[in-house]
Structure 1
């Protein structure tokens, strides 16, 4: 078994630019896991999603892209629980209704 610290780059390493697709995949996987567990909704915080997908906080992070994906993946019935100043930031919190 690999140690997470050995697999993930550290915050002081060169930045890794994450794509929109990386965040879409990560968010959809999170929603699928929650749906399989029988949840009726899941609250997703941008900082947590970004950390799950790639290093955050880190120099050259992709938080704006992460937040854009969170907004774009919203469907009717989903709700924004917390909007950071400017609309994009690690505090963004969205409740996604399940099943999708």
Structure 2
């Protein structure tokens, strides 16, 4: 059985800054996959999304960019379940309604 940890990038492999597009792609893929299973919503935590895209926590992380994307991808009916102090942080939790 393949170890999932080996599939994740190591700190030395992660660019200093991940792009906004990296997070958009990962979030939309997660929403699309949840929609295919017939779910009516999916909860996404910023720390989990960031880890899916690149190493977190790590020096030079891109958590502010990750959170910005999560907010910008919200549509009417989506809801913020948990807002971290300052609005951007690993505990940000958004429920996205499906289908999109």
Shift of residue 28 of structure 1? 0.1
Separation in structure 2 between the aligned mates of residue 75 and residue 30 of structure 1, nearest angstrom: 15
Partner of 1:75: 75
Shift of residue 9 of structure 1? 3.5
TM-score normalized with structure 1 length: 0.90
Partner of 2:30: 30
Instruction: Give the superposed CA RMSD.
Output: 1.7
Shift of residue 10 of structure 1? 2.8
Gaps of 5+ in 2: none
Query: Aligned with 2:57: secondary structure?
Result: coil
Partner of 2:99: 99
Separation in structure 2 between the aligned mates of residue 34 and residue 15 of structure 1, nearest angstrom: 26
Shift of residue 5 of structure 1? 4.3
Gaps of 5+ in 1: none
Separation in structure 2 between the aligned mates of residue 26 and residue 46 of structure 1, nearest angstrom: 12
Shift of residue 3 of structure 1? 4.9
- In the alignment of these two chains, the number of paired residues is 99
Q: Is contact 2:20-2:65 (8 Å) kept?
A: yes
TM-score normalized with structure 2 length: 0.90
Q: Is contact 1:83-1:92 (8 Å) kept?
A: yes
